[in-house]
A and B are shown apart, each in its own frame.
Chain A
């Protein structure tokens, strides 16, 4: 496995995270390759969100190794990762289109993807000039999904993307993930297991309480 092109996109070895000296999760070993989705399942409070935040670089790992696209991870992870967390990162007093414009300024934009297209794809067509604060929770989630779709990042970290969404919205998430994987991207999706997984090549990471 010395050739860089044979290495998986994300390669995690012995990843551990402690909070106040007590382990939250780990040691974890897993990998995610292009065209794959890793489904992270586990009960509430098991550390799914924490792990995603560690991978995103929002939290420092206490031990272990995270390698992304061959290169050593660290600050360099920024730009390769799109993070869809619990917080919407939307400004209520900006319109949908303006919110996406700000996001594109921050994270860059995937070539040939436009803001109008993104709103159409997530089912918010006609909401361009609507203030984000006037949207419902599900619509806000859709707007966040539009931001993820616009991002040039190769790895999507999605924390409970199905939350707040109706059946059609769940279908939408699966469709977006499928399309992203078909283009050579990868995704990590946390869920507590009650929803249908996207119909793609999926690895499963089951997190359980340590005995």
Chain B
């Protein structure tokens, strides 16, 4: 029953993504835009660019995720799908967790895949690429989980807009610090495993707690 529900949800979200392929590119294009604009606005010194490259890539990924965050539960709240989730015999946190997973797959993963291109624009050393992508693979799911809680809290509002960003950004900052920090450390030849372990611990904690908290927030939001 639970597996059938998860499969149905994943198939649903991937089908919807496929039907709206244009929208699916939005986070990637946004991240690309941030990076290109930053590269154009900087002084053009490759050495300067490469020192800030990890930070810019991380900020671009974070902002692209923030842009897509409101869509996590908004559509399902507006057409009544969330009501049916609540009435399903499948526990709500399972459905919420599945939604976070598909949302991450469709918004964050494309950005991570495009990191080699973004890095090239910022003169990021090729040796640093695996560390950037690894830190994003650890960090962006955590961003999605934290974002899910915030999106669930604002699901009852007609338009979350600014509130969503205000609530999410403080929660995002530690992830950003450790994620971008690990890349900066590795580029200076320092050990970055500590930051990754902390990100991993946060991810484990988040994947257990965030769906439960978001589910409770959705129950309140639908009242």
Please tell me if the beta carbons of B19 and A107 are within 8 angstroms of each other in the complex. Answer: no
Please tell me if the beta carbons of B12 and A58 are within 8 angstroms of each other in the complex. Answer: no
Is A194 located at the chain interface by the 8 A CB criterion?
A: no
- Given that A59-B223, A94-B15 are known contacts, is A107 also in contact with B80, CB under 8 Å in the complex? no
CA distance A105 to B1 in the complex (A): 8
Is B43 located at the chain interface by the 8 A CB criterion?
A: no
Please pick, from B1, B11, B83, B222, the residue contacting A89 in the complex, using a CB distance under 8 A: B83
Is A56 located at the chain interface by the 8 A CB criterion?
A: yes
Please tell me if the beta carbons of B88 and A91 are within 8 angstroms of each other in the complex. Answer: no
Please tell me if the beta carbons of B79 and A87 are within 8 angstroms of each other in the complex. Answer: yes
CA distance A60 to B90 in the complex (A): 19
Residues of B within 8 A of A103 (CB): 84
Does more than half of chain B's interface fall in helix, strand or loop, or is it mixed?
helix
Please tell me if the beta carbons of B86 and A104 are within 8 angstroms of each other in the complex. Answer: no
Residues of B within 8 A of A81 (CB): 87
Is A88 located at the chain interface by the 8 A CB criterion?
A: yes
Per-position binary interface string of chain B over residues 1-31, scored 1 when its CB falls under 8 Å from any chain A CB and 0 otherwise: 1001101110110011001100000000000
Residues of B within 8 A of A86 (CB): 80
CA distance A85 to B188 in the complex (A): 59
Is B170 located at the chain interface by the 8 A CB criterion?
A: no
Please tell me if the beta carbons of B80 and A89 are within 8 angstroms of each other in the complex. Answer: yes
Residues of A within 8 A of B80 (CB): 85-89
CA distance A107 to B19 in the complex (A): 24
